[in-house]
Amino acid sequence: MAVPSEDRSKIIEGLGNLSVIKTRTGSRQRVGTTSELFIPIVNWEQAEQVVSELLDGNWPTSKEKSKAITDLRGGRWLDNKDLTVNSLEEFRERVKDLLMSNPYDELWKAAHAKEPLIPVFERIIDRPLTKQTMHWKLKKLLNWAKSLEILPKRRYPYN
């Protein structure tokens, strides 16, 4: 058996975006798609486009659009292959309601106060992720917040 050149804890931390956690439903899912905390993996525009296609009766098949499907399931706007919303407006409203609730509101307060967001985001997700993964996930979440006008469209301090 080969001995790793790095400490195992550093290797595991480096795989932060592949963490598997236990959800309230007892199933196991990747971080970012948990039933406990929704963190999108695609930009808002992509998710909205896929919802529009699904509302038109078309099931997206591209790899990028399948990531949006993962987000829709993670946020519970898609159950198996059935949307739980009837229109784009309802989708926007339900997403905004979710993102305006706890624990996300703590992040938006920090953003409005121009405080660094990474420390707040770390507290919210409460699991070890690499700096790069943390930055990427926060970037996607901010994209959704800006698109839904929860936050003004401007740059925010990460650190």
List the one residue out of 55, 63, 62 whose CA is nearest residue 81. Answer: 55
Supply the pLDDT for residue 64.
Answer: 85
Helix 131-147 vs helix 88-99: crossing angle, to nearest 10: 130
Q: Which two tokens stand for residue 10?
A: 């550093």
Is 129 part of a structural domain of the chain?
yes
Residue ranges of the chain with pLDDT lower than 50? 16-35
List the one residue out of 37, 55, 149, 140 whose CA is nearest residue 93. Answer: 149
Is 80 part of a structural domain of the chain?
yes
Is 3 part of a structural domain of the chain?
no
**Total domains, the chain:** 1
Q: Domain range holding 127? A: 22-147
Supply the pLDDT for residue 93.
Answer: 97
pLDDT tens for each residue of 105-135: 999 999 999 999 999 999 999 888 899 999 9
